[in-house]
Every structure is written in structure tokens, then in C-alpha cells.
Amino acid sequence: MKLRIQDDSLRLRLTRNEVARLREHGLVECAIRFPANQTLAYSVVSSLDTTEISVSYAADSIQVALPSELVMDWADDSTEVTMEGSDSGVHVLVEKDFQCLHQSVERDPEAFPNPLA
């Protein structure tokens, strides 16, 4: 999963396997490890209790919560690329990760085929 942070905006891109894992298990999580045993974790969770896209930050962890119904529709729809929402001024965009057009497929083998290729 790729994470991009810019101002008050979070953008997460999920590969085919990660979209399938989110659909089947309700969770995709990653972390970046810094020196001195410091870690920034980030995750996307599908929840039956969530009615809107929400984001939280606690204990060096970012969690984006998505309504399960929205996740199921998004994961099953080959034409739907993004899920988008805002929570307390933070804009959240969750996208399917497409293969880059200017690099070889081997670099992003789990990415979705790019419709512009």
C-alpha cells in the first residue's frame, strides 16, 4: 500500500492483492520503520460499524476506516477506482493502484492493469 500525505490530505493506493485482502479480511496495514525503533503504521479497515469514511491518528498510527458496503462495491466494480471522503478537515482518497505507463510491469506486478496502456 502506498501512502501520500500532503497538507490535510491522505491518499492511499492499494494493489489487487491488497484490495482483495481488504474485501476478504477487512484490513490492510503497513509500516515504515525509522531509526531508534520508531515506526509509523498506517492501515485501512473495512467496518460494519462505519457509515462514513473516517480517519484517526493515535500512537504513531494512521487508520482509515471505510464502510464495509462501500468497500464491497468498490472491490467488486472493475470501473470504480476511488473512494473519497473527509473527516474533521482531513481529505481521504483511497484508490486502486495502477501500473505505471513509463516503467516495466515487473516493477508493479500486483498493480491493476492501467486502462491507458
Strand 90-96 vs strand 9-14: parallel, antiparallel, or unpaired? parallel
Model confidence, pTM = 0.85
Domain boundaries in the chain?
Answer: 2-95
Which residues 6+ apart lie within 8 Å of 72 measured at CB? 23
Whole-angstrom distance, CA of residue 51 vs CA of residue 22: 17
C-beta atoms surrounding 41 within 10 Å: 14
Q: Per residue of the chain (117 residues), give pLDDT as tens.
A: 999 999 999 999 999 999 999 999 999 999 999 999 999 999 999 999 999 999 999 999 999 999 999 999 999 987 899 999 999 999 999 999 866 656 655 566 676 666 666
CATH topology (fold) of 2-95: Gyrase A; domain 2 (3.30.1360)
List pLDDT tens digits, range 78-98: 789 999 999 999 999 999 986
What the block records as the C-alpha cell of 113 is 492493469
